Homo-oligomer: A and B are copies of this chain.
Amino acid sequence: MNAGDYLFHQGDVAPNLYLIGQGLAKMFYVTHDGKEFVKSFLPEGSFAGSLVAQLEGRPSPFSAVCLEAVGAEVVPFSALETLFKKSPEARSFGLRFFQELALKKEKREYELLCLPPAQRYRAFIEENPGLAARVKQKDIAHYLGITPIALSRIRRRMKTPGPA
């Protein structure tokens, strides 16, 4: 899939899970008044998919789109569910997977709740050294929950005013 292609759209039931083998994608919300917010970036080795769509059979509240050419494995979530039913070993993997997912979400929750935008940006750069270069600042801003203009101002402040 090429940059710009969608894995699934906001509103779809999106019953598939995607394992990103190569490339880069993002999952993002678009609010009723047209504002975009990036839920997460999906580099190599990430899973794309909507828990709401898959666990509850409801439309996904966000979309997934490729930012670079992407090679991905498509896994119907129903296949995973039957696998979990049949194989106790698979359940162990599933358990571990969702534990890790919850752990990541808890970290993101912490940053959104406790850190101001400038510190969220610093944290993002430190935790994702490679990503910053591959992603547009516009998308980083939307990942932080601010406008590209605000991010531009934060970057300017971080340059010279060094004194803390």
Chain A residues with CB under 8 Å of chain B are 29, 31, 35, 37, 39, 51-52, 55-56, 61, 84, 88, 91-92, 94-95, 98-99, 101-103, 105-106, 108-110, 112-114, 145
Contacts and interface: CB of A to CB of B under 8 A. Distances in A.
A114 B51 contact: no
Contacts of A106: 51-52, 105
The quantity of this chain's copies bound in the complex is: 2
The interface residues of chain A, by DSSP majority, are classed as helix
A41 to B, nearest CB: 14
Contact of A52 (B29, B51, B91, B103): B103
Contacts of A91: 88, 91-92, 95
